[in-house]
């Protein structure tokens, strides 16, 4: 018996039925799968169209070129005799630079712009691991260059602040070498370097930078904190809080997990105290009450006080997120680290923290997003945040009566920043996904 026919080549596969692929299928499964679903889809589509019909003309038929709200209205009256009015974007054209850069004079705009570019560059090696490590030097330098660009004055105080870290590190290396072999070597070296750096900053850096500034007054125009405004203010507070709070938060989270009683209690107490008080209360205390406690005439720099507080506040919250990450690392990982003979520092750095932070990333980034938006809370004590600027612009008789255009623009800028952060967090999660969860 033999087969009379054997097919020698494969039949071309048939295309999938049109009802299961393409946009029709997608719409059928997602939008019109059942009668209630279809009804909801139609209602939603109707509302969306209504919204678009209402908003889009207002946005896209707006006037960009006018000197005041009443000029806008005259233009509309001329164009549309039936009394229709659309957005008066002229206020943004007139004042967008104030909203973004605050009260820097136009010839100083390069300072915040350069600062933000530096922040962008310095974020690269932190955000993307496959970049040259030498970029990390830019990151470190930015910590001192950015304040110099924002506040200006002579370059020396910023340089002396940076030197303080060098002093601390140098003392650490020397003490570590001298006390090598001693059981308390690391404790002695660390506390010695902290003391040396503190002595440098508090006692020496001021007079030295003062003397240098007199001898070589190199610098740029000084800028007062009080004139820092708009998104330049929000970004400065946000970036400082984000950059400074993460290391602090890691230290607090580890402290709270620690077996050392005092470290543990101090960390717990700090976290709970900060988390127990609303941010707005803390800001109020920092700026208003502090003035009562300090000697008369002491000018508490409100921006500095707010930055410190927002940093502490964010750190306390992120510490809890990281603690949750630490708790989620299986106990076996700790035991594995111990069995390899790693000491505490190495075990945390090489095994525990990378896993814990990976788990904590979404929580950390959502804290960053909320702290960036929380910067507008400073308006209660310091009226120059982006929303405060909107009030100031509305108090100009040219723009008195403008509402939607201004707040819409500010909302858009906030959205762009926050959306970028959340996209970044998603991509980071995907890249770090190693199939543990």
Partner 1 sequence: MKRSIFACAAVALTMTGGALAAQTLDAVKERGELNCGITEGTLGFSARDANGVHQGFDVEFCRALAVAIFNDADAVNYVELSSANRFTALTAGNADVLYRTTTWTLTRDVDLKTNFVGVNYYDGQAFMVPAELGVSSALELDGATVCIEVGTTTELNLADYFRANGMEYQPLPVGGTTEAKALFEEGACDVYTTDGSALAGVKASFPDPSAYVILPEVASKEPLGPAVRHGDEQWADVVRWVQNALIEAEEYDITSENAAQLAESGSIPAVNRILGVEGGLGEMLGLENDFALNMITKVGNYGEIFARTIGESTPIGLPRGLNALYTEGGIQYAPPFR
Tell me which residues touch partner 1 (CB under 8 A): 69-70, 73, 85, 94-95, 98, 103, 105, 226-227, 284, 287-288, 291-292, 294, 296-299, 379-384, 388, 391-398, 400-401, 403
Per-residue H/E/C for the chain: CCCCCCCCCCCCCCCCCCCCCHHHHHHHHHCCCCHHHHHHHHHHHHHHHHHHHHHHHHHHCCECCCCCHHHHHHHHHHHCCCCCCCCECHHHHHHHHHHHHCCCCHHHCHHHHHHHHHHHHHHHHHHCCCCCCCHHHHHHHHHHHHHHHHHCEECHHHHHHHHHHHHHHHHHHHHHHHCCCCCCHHHHHHHHHHHHHHHHHHHHHHHHHHHHHHHCCCEECCCCHHHCCHHHHHHHHHHHHHHHHHHHHHHHHHHHHCCCHHHHHHHHHHHHHHHCCCHHHHHHHHHHHHHHHCCCCCCCCHHHHHHHHHHHHHHHHHHHHHHHHHHHCCHHHHHHHHHCCCCHHHHHHHHHHHHHHHHHHHHHHHHHHHHHHHHHHHHHCCCCCHHHHHHHHHCCCCCCCCCHHHHHHHHHHHHHHHHHHHHHHHHHHHHHCCCCC
- Please identify, using beta-carbon distances, which residue of 228 and 310 lies nearer to partner 1: 228
- Please identify, using beta-carbon distances, which residue of 142 and 375 lies nearer to partner 1: 375
- Please identify, using beta-carbon distances, which residue of 58 and 165 lies nearer to partner 1: 58
In angstroms, the CA 194 to CA 166 distance is 11
Q: Could you tell me the smallest distance in angstroms from the CB atom of residue 218 to partner 1?
A: 24
Q: Could you tell me the smallest distance in angstroms from the CB atom of residue 73 to partner 1?
A: 5
Q: Could you tell me the smallest distance in angstroms from the CB atom of residue 75 to partner 1?
A: 12
Q: Could you tell me the smallest distance in angstroms from the CB atom of residue 230 to partner 1?
A: 11
Q: Could you tell me the smallest distance in angstroms from the CB atom of residue 110 to partner 1?
A: 17
- Please identify, using beta-carbon distances, which residue of 236 and 314 lies nearer to partner 1: 236
φ/ψ (deg, to 5) at 88: -105, 80
- Please identify, using beta-carbon distances, which residue of 247 and 383 lies nearer to partner 1: 383
- Please identify, using beta-carbon distances, which residue of 300 and 421 lies nearer to partner 1: 300
- Please identify, using beta-carbon distances, which residue of 85 and 429 lies nearer to partner 1: 85
Q: Could you tell me the smallest distance in angstroms from the CB atom of residue 211 to partner 1?
A: 23
What is the CB neighbour count within 10 angstroms for residue 180?
9
- Please identify, using beta-carbon distances, which residue of 74 and 338 lies nearer to partner 1: 74
Q: Could you tell me the smallest distance in angstroms from the CB atom of residue 324 to partner 1?
A: 36
- Please identify, using beta-carbon distances, which residue of 180 and 395 lies nearer to partner 1: 395
Q: Could you tell me the smallest distance in angstroms from the CB atom of residue 296 to partner 1?
A: 5
Q: Could you tell me the smallest distance in angstroms from the CB atom of residue 193 to partner 1?
A: 37
Q: Could you tell me the smallest distance in angstroms from the CB atom of residue 275 to partner 1?
A: 24
- Please identify, using beta-carbon distances, which residue of 229 and 315 lies nearer to partner 1: 229
Q: Could you tell me the smallest distance in angstroms from the CB atom of residue 219 to partner 1?
A: 20
φ/ψ (deg, to 5) at 103: -105, 25
Quote the distance between the C-alpha of residue 116 and its chain's center. Answer: 12
In angstroms, the CA 224 to CA 105 distance is 12
- Please identify, using beta-carbon distances, which residue of 42 and 93 lies nearer to partner 1: 93
In angstroms, the CA 246 to CA 315 distance is 6
């Amino acid at each position: 018996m033999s087969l009379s026919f054997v097919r020698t080549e494969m039949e071309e596969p048939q295309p999938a039925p049109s009802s299961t692929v393409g946009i029709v299928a997608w719409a059928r499964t997602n939008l019109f799968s059942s009668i209630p679903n279809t009804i909801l889809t139609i209602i939603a589509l109707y509302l969306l169209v209504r919204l678009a019909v209402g908003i889009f003309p207002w946005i896209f038929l707006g006037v960009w070129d006018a000197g005041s709200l009443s000029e806008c209205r005259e233009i509309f009256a001329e164009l549309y005799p039936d009394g229709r009015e659309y957005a008066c974007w002229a206020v943004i054209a007139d004042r967008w630079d104030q909203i973004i850069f605050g009260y820097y004079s136009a010839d100083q705009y390069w300072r915040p712009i350069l600062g933000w570019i530096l922040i962008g560059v310095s974020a690269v090696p932190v955000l993307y691991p496959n970049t040259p490590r030498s970029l990390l030097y830019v990151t470190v330098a930015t910590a001192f260059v950015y304040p110099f660009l924002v506040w200006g004055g002579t370059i020396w105080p910023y340089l002396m602040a940076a030197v303080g870290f060098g002093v601390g590190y140098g003392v650490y290396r020397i003490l570590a070498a001298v006390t090598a072999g001693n059981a308390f070597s690391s404790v002695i070296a660390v506390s010695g370097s902290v003391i040396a750096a503190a002595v440098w900053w508090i006692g020496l850096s001021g007079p030295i930078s003062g003397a240098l500034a007199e001898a070589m007054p190199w610098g740029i125009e000084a800028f007062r904190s009080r004139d820092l405004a708009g998104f330049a203010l929000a970004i400065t507070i946000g970036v400082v809080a984000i950059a400074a709070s993460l290391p602090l938060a890691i230290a607090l989270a580890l402290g709270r997990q620690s077996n050392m009683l005092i470290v543990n209690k101090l960390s717990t107490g700090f976290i709970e105290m900060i988390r127990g008080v609303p941010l707005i209360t803390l800001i109020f205390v920092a700026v208003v009450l502090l003035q009562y406690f300090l000697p008369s005439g002491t000018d508490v720099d409100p921006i500095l006080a707010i930055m410190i507080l927002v940093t502490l506040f964010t750190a306390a919250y992120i510490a809890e997120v990281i603690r949750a990450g630490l708790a989620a690392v299986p106990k076996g990982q700790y035991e594995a680290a111990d069995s390899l003979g790693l000491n505490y520092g190495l075990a945390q750095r090489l095994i525990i923290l990378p896993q814990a932070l990976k788990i904590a990333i979404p929580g950390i980034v959502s804290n960053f997003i909320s702290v960036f938006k929380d910067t507008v809370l400073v308006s209660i004590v310091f009226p120059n945040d982006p929303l405060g600027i909107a009030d100031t612009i509305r108090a100009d008789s040219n723009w008195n009566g403008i509402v939607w255009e201004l707040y819409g623009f500010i909302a858009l800028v906030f959205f762009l920043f926050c959306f970028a952060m959340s996209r970044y967090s998603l991509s980071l999660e995907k890249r770090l996904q190693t199939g543990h969860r």
